[in-house]
């Protein structure tokens, strides 16, 4: 048996990420264990995981298959140098992953996080054009409200002001197109919103301004997650793809959230039938258990490096922990769980039930939008005019007290439960959230 978890009173040293530290430390919320769909708090309460941790624990928590894979690997081969050396699990994992990816996405570069996967993809795009003698393509295009992690590349192409304004100069040569979130036309849409494919034409405008010959890549979250679950309008991603093709611009899908079954297909690229040139993943690759990320590349990109000028055949990029053996074992164990339990397509079966459940919250106080796709969803609340207080954050605190974990950003409550959730647990989640919403001022 495991020793009982010690609950600490030493809160000062740890500088917590994306958290108002003083506020948290005055009233800490601690998880001490987790199993399947539930966390247990330090005061012994069970909390239903409505967000798969941070959109990552797609297989649920503490799954024995993954735990055993990690334990075994740590005892057998804990670490192998990531550069100029290999180990079999890295190659096995890469081969298994490319069987899941859309056709033609045949190569994988391993990282340790989504942020690193994004930086890797941006650098790959720039280097790819150089390898082909098109070094004039130096610009990167992101979107307003995009979230691509916290590296300088990611915050530069990202479009969330609070993540950018503290840090001065961003990468140069970056431009942004608009996001597609348009409540005036699409409020309470189920699945893909009807209106707004024409937002893709922003890309043509940016190209007209800068000239295609200066643009390397466009990076897009197929469903923008961290910024509040913004679901692309019908036809939008197809148009973005067509514009990129027309102008020789690489398309990067940031699938850190949408990858590994969130929409009911292995990747959002499958759901939309739109294949990017590069794709970034993390989170679900190991079901959140061990840090890992990856960039997938289409064959022509890999080949451009392999056959490129002599000085580019080696990609001068990588991390000490790229394809760390324990992370690879965790990912292989995770893929076993996904495949044996059909989790990569389970969201498709549950999607209608999920949609009905979360849309039943329509009409509750302050709810101005509800949206869903696969097993992801959001409830958007009316802002409190002229005040920094966010109703959604109050809802998060109240939900936690009532035994439900949700995630909030601004006035939006985001939901993305583990893909093992049962219908009864969906009912629980929605009932608790409804009870919370009824109490908001
Ligand atoms: N891209 C997207 C789309 C994400 O959602 C996230 C994390 N929420 C990241 C990148 C960054 O991933 P990480 O936190 O693992 O660096």
Cα 438 to middle of ligand 1, angstroms:
32
Whether pLDDT at 58 is above 70: yes
Q: Tens digit of pLDDT for each residue in 138-158?
A: 999 999 999 999 999 999 999
Q: Could you give the C-alpha distances from 196 to 115, 216, 231, 372, in angstroms and in order?
A: 28, 25, 11, 17
Q: What is the dihedral of CA 427, 430, 433, 435, to 10 degrees?
A: -70
- Using 50, 70 and 90 to split pLDDT, how confident is the model at 389? confident
Which 3 state secondary structure label does DSSP give 407?
Answer: strand
Taking domain 68-340, whether its CATH number is 2.40.420.20 is answered by no
| Residue among 56, 117, 149, 158 whose CB has most ligand 1 atoms within 8 A, to mutate | 149
Rounded to whole angstroms, the Cα distance separating 437 from 49 reads 18
Per-residue confidence (pLDDT) for residue 5, from 0 to 100 = 55
- Using 50, 70 and 90 to split pLDDT, how confident is the model at 388? confident
- Using 50, 70 and 90 to split pLDDT, how confident is the model at 95? very high
Sorted by sequence, the CB contacts under 8 Å of residue 112 that are 6+ apart come out as: 291, 292, 293, 319, 321, 322, 324, 327
Per-residue confidence (pLDDT) for residue 83, from 0 to 100 = 97
Exposure of 337 in the CB half-sphere (CA atoms within 13 A): 29
Q: Tens digit of pLDDT for each residue in 408-421?
A: 999 999 999 999 99
Whether pLDDT at 234 is above 80: yes
ipTM of this complex prediction, to 2 decimal places: 0.99
The CATH number that domain 21-62+342-438 falls under is 3.90.1150.10
| Residue among 153, 221, 257 whose CB has most ligand 1 atoms within 8 A, to mutate | 257
Per-residue confidence (pLDDT) for residue 353, from 0 to 100 = 98
Residue ranges per structural domain of the chain: 21-62+342-438, 68-340
- Number of the ligand 1 atom closest to the C-alpha atom of 114: 12
Q: Can you tell me the mean pLDDT for 63-79?
A: 98
Cβ neighbours, 10 Å, residue 70: 17
Per-residue confidence (pLDDT) for residue 1, from 0 to 100 = 40
Q: What is the mean pLDDT of the chain?
A: 96
In b/e form, how buried is each residue of 310-333, taking b as 16+ CB within 10 angstroms? eebeebeebbebbbbbbbbbbbbb
Per-residue confidence (pLDDT) for residue 6, from 0 to 100 = 59
Q: Can you tell me the mean pLDDT for 276-300?
A: 98
Whether pLDDT at 370 is above 90: yes
- Using 50, 70 and 90 to split pLDDT, how confident is the model at 274? very high
Per-residue confidence (pLDDT) for residue 386, from 0 to 100 = 87
Q: Could you give the C-alpha distances from 198 to 190, 245, 426, in angstroms and in order?
A: 19, 17, 35
Q: Are 74 and 328 in contact (CB under 8 A)?
A: no
Residues 147, 375, 64: CA angle, nearest 5 degrees = 95
Sorted by sequence, the CB contacts under 8 Å of residue 334 that are 6+ apart come out as: 58, 59, 66, 284, 285, 286, 287, 289
Q: Can you tell me the mean pLDDT for 28-50?
A: 97
């Amino acid at each position: 048996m495991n020793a009982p978890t010690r609950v600490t009173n030493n809160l000062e040293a740890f500088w917590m990420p994306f958290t108002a530290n003083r506020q948290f430390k005055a009233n800490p919320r601690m998880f001490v264990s987790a199993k399947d769909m539930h966390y247990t708090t330090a005061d012994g309460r069970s909390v239903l995981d409505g967000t798969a941790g941070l959109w990552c624990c797609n297989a649920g928590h503490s799954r024995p298959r993954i735990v055993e894979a990690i334990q075994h690997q740590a005892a057998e081969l804990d670490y192998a140098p990531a550069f100029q050396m290999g180990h079999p699990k890295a190659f096995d994992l890469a081969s298994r992953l490319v069987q899941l990816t859309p056709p033609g996405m045949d190569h994988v570069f391993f990282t340790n996080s989504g942020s690193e996967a994004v930086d890797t993809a941006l650098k790959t795009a720039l280097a790819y054009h150089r390898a082909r003698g098109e070094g004039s393509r130096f610009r990167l295009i992101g979107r307003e409200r995009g979230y691509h992690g916290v590296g300088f590349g990611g915050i530069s192409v990202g479009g969330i002001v609070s993540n950018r304004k503290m840090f001065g100069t961003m990468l140069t040569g970056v431009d942004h197109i608009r996001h597609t979130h348009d409540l005036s036309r699409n409020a309470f849409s189920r699945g893909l919103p009807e209106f707004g494919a024409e937002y893709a034409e922003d890309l043509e405008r940016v190209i007209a301004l800068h000239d295609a010959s200066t643009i390397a890549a466009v990076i897009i979250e197929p469903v923008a997650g961290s910024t509040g679950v913004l679901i692309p309008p019908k036809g939008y991603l197809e148009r973005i793809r067509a514009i990129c093709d027309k102008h020789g611009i690489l398309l990067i899908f940031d699938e850190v959230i949408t990858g590994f079954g969130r929409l009911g297909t292995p990747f959002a690229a499958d759901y939309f039938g739109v294949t990017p040139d590069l794709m970034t993943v993390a989170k679900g690759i190991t079901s959140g258990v061990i840090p890992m990320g990856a960039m997938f590349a289409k064959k022509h990109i890999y080949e451009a490096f392999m056959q490129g000028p002599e000085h580019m055949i080696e990609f001068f990029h990588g991390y000490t922990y790229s394809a760390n053996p324990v992370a690879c074992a965790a990912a292989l164990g995770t893929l076993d769980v996904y495949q044996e339990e059909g989790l990569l397509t389970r969201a498709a079966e549950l999607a209608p039930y999920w949609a009905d459940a979360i849309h039943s919250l329509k009409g509750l106080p302050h709810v101005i939008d509800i949206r869903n796709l696969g097993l992801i969803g959001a409830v958007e609340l009316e802002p409190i005019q002229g005040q920094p207080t966010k109703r959604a954050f109050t809802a998060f605190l109240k939900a936690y007290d009532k035994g439900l974990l949700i995630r909030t950003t601004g006035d939006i409550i985001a939901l993305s439960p583990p893909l093992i959730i049962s219908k009864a647990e969906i009912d629980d989640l929605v009932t608790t959230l409804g009870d919370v919403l009824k109490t908001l001022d």
